[in-house]
A = this chain, B = another copy of it.
Amino acid sequence: MLLAVDCIIFGFDGTDLKLLLIKRGFEPEKGRWSLMGGFVQPKETLEQSAARILKELTGLEDVYMEQLHAFSEVERDPIERTVSVTYTSLIDINKYKKQLNNDFHSEWFPLKKLPSLIFDHRDMVEMAKEKLRYKAAFHPIVFELLPEKFTLPQLQSLYEGIYGALMDKRNFSRKVLSTGLLIKQKDKERLSSKRGAFYYKLDKRKYQTKFNSFLNFIPNPNNLN
């Protein structure tokens, strides 16, 4: 029985929530889109394995990562019995633009427009989305997806992307600012609007402290998709 790891990598580019996929370079299913995966080596933990695979295939290092679920349907890999443990990563797309796209055929897909995936990778992605929604509702986890400096409208569209819901910007800004986790900057982002939107930074010390405190970012149920 083989033991594999697959990585579900969410990214945010300031507007859309996306997923990183690679074009599979070998049989079976050569040429189709797939999550980043590989086999666990005898002397590494699953976490180390996931980090290694991510590094090898994308050049990414030191990114947020957590275990999602072990998938074990007997026939999930038609060739050989393989159990796959999945890991979810969150990254800021722009930060890692250079490393990507070069060596491997990897590509970002908007969550709403995913291609067909091999094996049970679609189930994996669905579960990861579900968990991201669940977790983001109570933990300030989404900052992993943002660049160091970001604007409130960007943060809001990230939440809206995660929940597939529209939120009221007045209530939204009150809610996020009330956490005390954001530090307003003096400069503005001027690309996406004429007036420009102030940048904010995450207060990293408070982020550490408050990570496990329950925050409530659940959008109101009327607008849930």
Contacts and interface: CB of A to CB of B under 8 A. Distances in A.
B1 A83 contact: no
A85 interface: yes
B45 A81 contact: no
A72 B47 CA distance: 8
A214 interface: yes
Interface stretch (A36-44, A153-161, A175-183): A36-44
A3 interface: yes
A46 B72 contact: yes
User: Is chain A's interface secondary structure helix, strand, loop, or mixed overall?
Assistant: loop
Given A3-B1, A40-B1, A45 B74 contact: yes
A144 to B, nearest CB: 19
A134 to B, nearest CB: 8
Interface residues of A, number: 21
Interface in A182-196: none
Interface in A103-133: none
A40 B72 CA distance: 10
Nearest to A81: B42
A85 B214 CA distance: 27
Given A1-B3, A3-B3, A214-B218, A46 B70 contact: yes
A85 B45 CA distance: 13
A75 to B, nearest CB: 10
